[in-house]
Amino acid sequence: MPLAERIEAAEERLYYCLTGLEHYALLLAAEAEAVGMPNAALRARLIAADTVSRFGLLDRAKEWELQLHAETGDWPALRRRVEVMLATTCERRGERAESMGWISQACADWPEADRPAWRAEALMVFALLSASRRHVDYSLARHAVVAVEAHCSPLLRSVTLANFAEVAADCADLAIATEFAARAVATLDEYPEVAVPLTLDSIALAWLAVDKTDAAIEILERALQLERHLGCSDVQGDPWLSMSQALLMAGDVGRALEFLDHPRRADWAAKCTWTRSRDRKQRALILARLHRWEEAFTALLDHVEIYESVRSIEGDRATAESETIQIANEERRRAARFEKLALTDTLTGLPNRRQVDLWLNARGAALDIAIIDLDHFKRVNDTYSHAAGDLVLQHIAEILQAGMLSLTRDGSGSRVGRLGGEEFIVIWMSVDPDSVTAHANGLLDHIRQARFPEIEPSLVITASIGLAFHRPQVSGSLLLAEADRSLYIAKDSGRDRVVFAGPKEISQDPGAA
């Protein structure tokens, strides 16, 4: 394997297994120096320095990384990467203000085309370090996820999703924690070979936050099995501590203490401020449950002392953040662009199925739904070409938007999206059934009256519409299934009509409709 590819593989291994990595990286650096590749040598030495940092040898790591930073003047992308590593080392040391300074410097004006995988990783770190217990900017987090999914490996994708799941759980944003954890699990199901202890640890912490204790224990058992082969890849992660928390929640106090004092944990844990704070709090809770009050009180005092330090660090973070507003705002603008692209159908400009699913899953929303399917649309493609079919779809999208605007006067309470192919959806918020039915029939009239002179002056398009009306405790996905059944009946009974079939005979499993 060429030297450059071996160095790249070693960079990925930082998230997978640290065993022997420092020595191996230094061998790669020596090889690069021997063949006259100084930048590759610097890159390999940075792997060794980051390995040392992840092991918790933070003074040595910071000194080494500062030295490397001074040597990277002729390669801006590598200099930025060193700054990312300095940010994470300072974070592990509890130097939050300095950490924010380094990551802000790294991300400032980083060209999107310059080492996009490194940039995506930096965005992930930036979003994580910008978070606190009081606030997480999820637009930055989602932007980072989009960048990582576009440019990085499944390993880093699973790590990123799990990290944001843990952060959201820590901030009590439970719906978001569940979303990111589920996406991380889905990634690991697709790529089981990239599972590592600390990714599973982060997912388990998200499950604990939403009271999925059994699921958390199961995933932590898997994490600790993997740890015996791979070790852990960052001192900020602690699967033994997380297992202790899970067992305490399950009422198994004795085993909770055993995992807190696990022999494999002794040389790994509590090397950074955040883990020490978690450790002391957990120890106090366990000792109190065992009625060992004096020991519990001592552990609680230790926790409070560390927590006060953390609060001071959070204040430093806020001060540091004030210096990074311009960078954060630029990333938010980029995030908004990515979000819009991800949720928009490129052909029609309407919201796509992903956005529709978000609407349907919104909590507490009283939704009425119409699925609109163009009749005999295949004939348009077959007779006039797919390009003509695209023009029809674009025109129908405009008709639906304009029709809903006129029918609801100001367009409030209505949404139009494209489900795919020739299917569209209209969603009303808190509109009475009679008005919805009238609106749907009005849309049919608009579609029927549309003309397409650029394709064929005599071409007439009709559509069939299936309706479903909101009811208490009925999910958006079930309403979609009901509307789909109504649409099927509209098609089967002659097309060019609106049908409301009602909820009867609809399975509670939306996939059965």
Alpha-carbon gap, residue 77 to 304, rounded angstroms:
41
Angle at 105 between CA 100 and CA 110, to 5 degrees: 130
Burial of 254 (0-12, 13-18, 19+ CB in 10 A): exposed
Greatest CA separation found in the chain?
Answer: 89
Residue type, 477: S
- Helix (H) or strand (E) holding 488, with range, is helix 476-492
Reduced to 3 states (helix: H, G, I; strand: E, B; else coil), residue 386 is helix
Reduced to 3 states (helix: H, G, I; strand: E, B; else coil), residue 123 is helix
Residue 249's φ and ψ, nearest 5 degrees, are -60, -30
DSSP 513: -
DSSP 456: B
Other Cβ atoms within 10 Å of 260 Cβ, number: 22
Reduced to 3 states (helix: H, G, I; strand: E, B; else coil), residue 416 is strand
Alpha-carbon gap, residue 327 to 390, rounded angstroms:
40
What are the b/e assignments for 279-313, b being 16+ CB within 10 Å? bbbbbbbbbbeeeeeeebeebbebbeebeeebeeb
Give yes or no: 11 in active site: no
Catalytic residue among 22, 83, 98, 422: 422
Alpha-carbon gap, residue 276 to 273, rounded angstroms:
5
Residues labelled as active-site residues: 422
